[in-house]
A and B are shown apart, each in its own frame.
Chain A
Amino acid sequence: MATGGIFSSGGGYMQDTSPMDMSFGASSSSKGPTRREHTGGRLVPVTALMIKRAADNKKSEGDDFILNGEIVNQVRLVGQVRTVQETNTYCGYTLNDSSGALVEVKRWTNVDDGVKEQNVRADIREGTYCCVIGNLRSFGDKTNIGCFTIYPLKSMNEITRHLLEVSHAYLEMTHAHYRSESMQMDSTPSTSTSTTPGIVAAQVNSVLSPIHRDTCEVLRNCHKQFGLHIDEVVGRLGAKYSAEDIRKALEFLCSEGLVFNSSDEDHFQSADS
């Protein structure tokens, strides 16, 4: 199956060479939503209302769909088929997922698909709850999903699962944005998952305990090639914390990826320096 990067979001252009790519530049752009290059983006579970809102927020037809703060192309949706239109090579469905909006789904078929296609069409009728996976597309002011696959649900528990997956994706994709916004930085929400040193420093400072924060600070301010020996860290913080507490703090910070062992297990260096 072709990846989302090959299917265009409108206009027949490769996603990597669309006009929006030129303005974003490298994937670690600090302006605007993130773009996951090379793979065409993740498959995001969504509701019809989320699609409608993303479409309403587009300034022009050629703009990308932005959901949960990221450019999204491939989506997964669960809803009930309300209308069906069929021709030899095309099926059009209207799905209602009780989110407060409808979504159009378009599926093109091969005339040679024969019995297999007939079975699919027989399974997807009005009233059938289905799962749809496809690309978001817009033509004029209309948005639809160009679907790769549509299949009837085997169990209504999949409705529940989809609601949970939509919630999880939203929280996962926006959690980092929330943290970066609360740091009062001037970078836009989507860059919180980048590895820019200043961003990492600002993010951790507000969630660490004092000893962790101070230990991080000592290591961050050290610009030696191999960082500091644990005894040197204790020497700088010994008036405030015990050696044992500092050792445990360094272990914790290593496990969090904020510091690392440089030349040996007794030397520590900040990931942020």
Chain B
Amino acid sequence: MQLTDMYSTLETRTSGKSIPSSLGKQVTVVGRVSQLGGSNLKLVTHDDKTITVKFSSSSSLPTQDSIVEVIGTVLPDQTIQSTAYLIFEEDFDLTMYDEAMKLVDKLPIFK
């Protein structure tokens, strides 16, 4: 995982459906890699939204079907320019994470 300048970023854990309202913001999104292509990939988020994640280089991208946590900035075209990613274990419970994110989106303490 690349951590260049990571100490200075203040991303917010974001669900897929909130990406369109997070343009320009730094976000953390969790989902499953559905398609790889060059230095981009398509991520199906925990709440079933498909977003494109761009990387600065095509080397060391996550593998197809892996569950990843992506950290990056939301671009105006609603894609994410990733600065780092972390591969989660295969038995990570995406459904339960989605339930937790519903609370994150709802409760005032997370805003």
Which residues of A are in contact with B by a Cβ distance under 8 Å?
Answer: 47, 49-50, 68, 80, 82-83, 94, 96, 98-102, 126-127, 129, 155-157, 159-160, 163-164, 166-167, 170-171
**Does B13 contact A160, Cβ atoms closer than 8 Å?**
no
- For A127, the chain B residues whose CB sits under 8 A away are 1, 3, 86
- Chain A contacts for B93, CB-based, 8 A: 157, 160
Instruction: Find the B residue at minimum CB distance from A46.
Output: B109
Report the Cα distance A100→B7, complex, angstroms.
12
Taking A100-B12, A156-B88, A163-B103 as known contacts, 4 extra A-B pairs with beta carbons closer than 8 A to each other, sorted by chain A number, are: A98-B12, A100-B11, A160-B93, A167-B103
| Chain B window 79-94, contacts with chain A (Cβ cutoff 8 Å), 1 for yes, 0 for no | 0000000101100110
Determine whether the beta carbon of B10 is less than 8 Å from that of A155: no
| Cα separation A15 to B63 with both chains bound (whole Å) | 52
Residue of A nearest to B46 (CB): A160
Q: Is the interface of B mostly helix, strand, loop or mixed?
A: mixed
B110 near A49 (CB under 8 angstroms)? yes
Residue with the highest number of chain B CB atoms closer than 10 Å, among A100, A155, A156: A156
Interface of A (DSSP majority class): mixed
CA distance in complex: A126, B71 (Å): 15
Q: Are B3 and A82 within 8 A (Cβ)? A: yes
**Shortest Cβ gap from A266 to chain B (Å):** 46
In the assembled complex, the Cα of A160 lies from the Cα of B67 at a distance in Å of 14
Residues of B within 8 A of A156 (CB): 69, 88-89, 92
B104 CB within 8 Å of chain A: yes
Residues of the B chain whose Cβ atoms lie less than 8 Å from the Cβ of A100: 10-12
List 26 contacting pairs A-B, 8 Å CB cutoff, sorted by A: A47-B110, A50-B109, A82-B3, A82-B6, A96-B10, A99-B12, A100-B11, A100-B12, A101-B10, A102-B7, A102-B10, A126-B6, A127-B3, A155-B89, A155-B92, A156-B88, A157-B96, A159-B97, A160-B100, A163-B101, A163-B104, A164-B99, A166-B110, A167-B104, A167-B107, A170-B109
Q: Would B11 and A163 count as touching, CB distance under 8 A?
A: no
List B contacts of A129 (CB < 8 A): 86
User: Would B103 and A126 count as touching, CB distance under 8 A?
Assistant: no
Chain B min CB distance to A138 (Å): 20
Residues of A within 8 A of B11 (CB): 96, 98, 100
Chain A residues whose CB sits within 8 angstroms of the CB of B12 once the complex forms:
98-100
Nearest Cβ on chain A to B18's Cβ, whole angstroms: 13
Q: A157 and B13 in contact (CB under 8 A), knowing A163-B100, A170-B109? A: no
Q: How far is the CA of A100 from the CA of B107 in the complex (A)?
A: 15
Bound state CA distance, A140 and B10, in angstroms?
A: 23
The one of A80, A101, A167 that contacts B100, using a Cβ cutoff of 8 Å:
A167
| Inter-chain contacts of B97 with A (CB < 8 A) | 159-160
- The minimal Cβ–Cβ distance linking A158 to chain B, given in whole angstroms, is 10
